Amino acid sequence: MPERAALYRRYRPQTFGAIVGQEHVTRTLRNAIAGGQVAHAYLLAGVRGTGKTSIARLIAKAVNCPNAKDGEPCDRCENCVAIREGRFLDLIEIDAASNRGIDEMRELRDKVRFTPSQGQYKVYVIDEAHQLTTEAFNALLKTLEEPPPHAIFVLATTESQRIPATIVSRTQRFDLRRIPHKGVVAQLAKIVEQENLRAEGPALEVIARHAQGSLRDAESMLDMVVAFADGAITLKEVDELLGSSDWEETAALFDALATSDGAKGITLVGRLVDDGRDLRLFVRRAIEHTRALVLTRATGGVPDWASEQVAAKLRAQAQTLSLDQLARIAKRLVETEQYLRTSEGTPLPLELAILDLVTPNEKASAPPPDATRQSVGSAPPRSSASQARPEPGRREVPRGSVVAIAERRVATEESVGVGAASPAVKLESVRKAWGELVGRAKERSVGKAAQLAKAEPLAIDGTTIVIGFGEEFARSLWQDKRRGELEQDLSEILKATIRVKCVRQPGVAETPTDDPMLRAAIETLGRPDRIMEIE
């Protein structure tokens, strides 16, 4: 039985008119081709699945079609059929992800001089062009500066910011947009009709929402659902196969933030971890959601990719979050995405961020004792005496800071046992023992003591004490080289089997340590409160 081609391949557009959602690009290209104003190089930039490769192939068809009308290829002549079937010798497609070096570009530069074999133009399509090396870009630049008249280059990329400006300046650039939700749904309905399938309208809506503006992703998902469904494609089957969409997950996070429901936010993170999801990717999508809410709040409009259901949700959430709150959320999410890079898999940075964002941003004082709303993890109000007299050796922190939130979160939990057979250890006990720990370190090295004195026990994560350092340099030093020493000292002081994890403490400014002599001095002596100019 012959293998059935995937839907996205069978329904790849064969004319400019069949491209969905990119009229601003296709119209310009058709007019240029019809008027004989073809450029020698084009740059197509946009997210995956929006038509970059399809448009690149259509450029090759249009310039080599003898029957082209108004810049539109006929899709019936020998050249058009050869391009559609992938056997046109003058269409050369290069995957820059696997052919990214200078040797490949030198070979291209040597071969581009030869005249076309079948058509009027040789068209070189370089996919994922941003992955070329610097040397390869330099070799390509020479060809773009002095191209032969029979050659056209089309560079496609999902990361246009990584294309050197010297290359961009020698191309005509087109930015492809995410395909509007309605356009994706319409294309899916068209495929369902042509394939003699049956599908519920809401089911196609959900598939389109999962695709987030990528038509290729939507067609691939439809292919999966067709294989999974027994008969008609229903909403129930789509939900069962695809689960909650990424957009629905980020929307649930913002529902929690808007209602100061920390428990709901933490539960969502736990579910993502259990499902093995990439938390950094989730945070990046949450940043995009913040951007959509800023647009909605500031202008009253919604992004053009939003469906009616998504638009309604954005408008509702925008009414509950001010621009100041959204700015704070955006800043905190950007910080969290950075912390997750070095968190070694723990969701703690994201959990702390959620708890921080559901806590009022109080600059003056704590709320009165009779406040009716407390965020998850908030401890009962302390007595005035305990508030007035901080523990010796412990610095006060703002109530709304991440450190304070971690304190309140852990304070309400029962003591957590550290080690299988060790006695229970509370975070407060660790903090009380910190002065003794610093004293021990001082006997060995003043520099070590200075670094530990500025560190802060933040939380107990499972069986591990999480310790925050203000500088990345100090954090990596204690995490990688001195962790055994730290664990041994704490185990002896607390009379328990202690494990530690050193993290970069959010919200603490860091002094750059690019100078190698300065780094060596800091490692030996500890970081001073003021760093004088070094000559």
pLDDT of residue 380: 41
Here the tokens at position 472 are: 């990345």
CB-count burial class (<10 Å; 0-12, 13-18, 19+) for 209: buried
pLDDT (tens digit per residue) in 214-252: 889 899 999 888 888 777 888 888 877 776 667 788 899
Give the containing element (helix H, strand E) for 188: helix 181-194
CA–CA separation, 507 and 404 (whole Å): 12
Q: What is the architecture of the domain spanning 246-357?
A: Up-down Bundle (1.20)
Measured over the CA atoms of residue 41, residue 45, residue 50 and residue 53, the dihedral's sign is positive
- Number of Cβ within a 10 Å radius of residue 332: 21
pLDDT at 29: 94
What is residue 439's predicted lDDT score, i.e. its pLDDT?
Answer: 86
Fold of 181-242: Helicase, Ruva Protein; domain 3 (1.10.8)
Write down the pLDDT at residue 485. Answer: 87
Polymer length of the chain: 535
Residues 47, 214: Cα–Cα separation, whole Å: 8
Q: CATH classification of 7-175 is 3.40.50.300, yes or no? A: yes
Considering the four listed CATH numbers 3.30.300.180, 1.10.3720.10, 3.40.50.360, 3.20.20.70, the one that applies to the domain covering 415-525 is 3.30.300.180
Per-domain residue ranges of the chain: 7-175, 181-242, 246-357, 415-525
**From CA 292, how far away is CA 321, in angstroms rounded?**
12
pLDDT of residue 235: 82
pTM over cut 0.85: no
Q: Looking at residue 72, what is its pLDDT?
A: 93
Tokens of 94: 């290069």
Count helices and strands in the chain by DSSP H and E runs: 25, 10
Residues of the chain with pLDDT under 70: 1-4, 243-245, 305, 361-424, 461-463, 506-535
Report how far Cα 119 is from the mean position of its chain's Cα atoms.
42
